[in-house]
Amino acid sequence: MNFVQLVSTLGFALWCTHGRCEARQSFKNVLVMLGDDVGFETSVYNNTICKTPNLDRLARRSVTIQHGYTSVSSCSPSRSALLSGLPSHQNGMYGLHHSVHHFNAFDGVQSLPVILGKSNIKTGIIGKKHIGPESVYKFDYEQTEYNNNILQCARNVTRMKEFVREFFAMDSRPFFLYIGFNDCHRCPESRYGDFCEKFGNGQPGFGNIPDWKPAYYDPKEVIVPPFLPDTPATRGDISNQYTSMSRLDAGVGMLLDELESHGYLNDTLIIFTADNGIPFPNAKTNLYEAGMGEPYLISSPVETSRWGQVSPSMASTIDILPTVLDWMGVSFPSYSLMGMEVVPSGKSLLPVTRMEPSSPSFGHAFASHNFHEVYMYYPMRVMRNKQYRLLHNLNYRAPYPLATDLYDNPTFLDIMNRTESGQPTKWFKTLDQYYYRDEYELFDLQADPLETTNLAGNSSYGDILAEMKKSLRDWRMATNDYWICYPEGVRYKNQCADIHNAPPNIL
């Protein structure tokens, strides 16, 4: 038995750097990378124009999930769901955390960093956090927008690299590191461009990020997704988005390099996904395919036989907590919220890294949305299976509300201006169709990928509608959804009291 075999057998790994080798204890670590408003603008998902060599590099050592979904297409609720393993209606983070919106998770929520910390696992967050309260989402090491400029801690990949090295140097415990990129969110500081794509590009007045070489794209060459209008305004918008994506990709490369140089690449589970859909019409804050669908890569250093493969399984961001606990060998704690025992509705994704799972849980995904900004009350509950999507729009009598950045952007303003002037919008729906929606929407994604034909009122699909309604209601009951009686009833004790004075239905 040679030395490398010996140290491996004893639970140690041979770590070599700068020409020196040493044996050190081998741990199971986790790196989760979360993109901000990121979609499928990557060659991993067959975008042949937007170049992402580092995501390609990660995909070569990962299983690429073909049907990855967010549990809610809104920033703070999505991050809260990811770290708690609970949908936003269950964990209490109903909308955005910052400023006047002021939403927080329930104080009793047990989040992933807190659970892992109790098992002596080092936890760290670098980049965008955007959730609260602090006591619920407490990490050992934090470099976020709460103690840094968000551009520096979440877009400046060179500064982020310095933070990563600080985190690694803290101690030698196994770790959970959560990276919250701010790319490709739209930019509130307009001098840096619509996607902050000018920040750190090396041009006068914009600073320089040494670890990023900006990629620029001709608007005529970008790929316009079918759910967006193919106009010059949209193409220019996407061109800037692609440049922002190149900075995120540089960050992915930096993190892979740091794992490798510190000897962690071969004992770290890596997950890459995003919080919600891209910041364009029909996507972010919506739960149509463009708003709910996310890139999703999972890389196990142990199960290498599926590296480079694509899985048709369905996965949700709600699955990250059980996946990490499964990898770390840590049990989910026993606790209650609002008088009901908490049981995570997600599943571990580790089986996907070994073989294609046959469990029915890999054949569907649920989503739940209540608010984005505080005035945007439009609760939705969704089930997506391999063929159909069922949306229940609980506030369907009201117009669908717009987030600030989904109104104030070149693509949507062009749609509005064209509508006002009577010009063709080149969009696949009208503004009225976008604003006003049926209570139930049922779409056949195989026959109708743009979700233009609502089948909920078609009697031929009555059995499918009834089955999906039941599955959706069962999930809502299991996750203690306090909107369970809305919009036709009022929750009263253990009943749904009908607001039309019909006899109450027992929950």
Active site residues: 75
If DSSP codes are grouped into helix, strand and coil, which group holds residue 346?
A: coil
Distance of alpha carbon 281 from alpha carbon 405, whole angstroms: 10
> Taking CA 27 as the corner, what is the angle to CA 24 and CA 28, rounded to the nearest 5 degrees?
160
- The values of phi and psi at residue 55, to 5°, are -65, -35
Closest CA to 83 of 44, 32, 41: 32
Strand partners, 506: 495
CB-based contact 507:494 (threshold 8 Å): yes
Closest CA to 314 of 361, 368, 380, 382: 361
CA 91, chain centre distance (Å): 16
Which CA distances in Å does 57 have to 53, 315, 321, 479? 6, 21, 25, 37
Distance of alpha carbon 123 from alpha carbon 324, whole angstroms: 12
What is the total residue count of the chain? 507
* DSSP assignments along 112-161, one per residue: HHHHHHTTT-EEEEEE------TTTS--SEEEETTTS-HHHHHT-HHHHH
Distance of alpha carbon 346 from alpha carbon 329, whole angstroms: 16
E strands, 114-244, in order: 122-127, 141-144, 175-180
Distance of alpha carbon 14 from alpha carbon 391, whole angstroms: 52
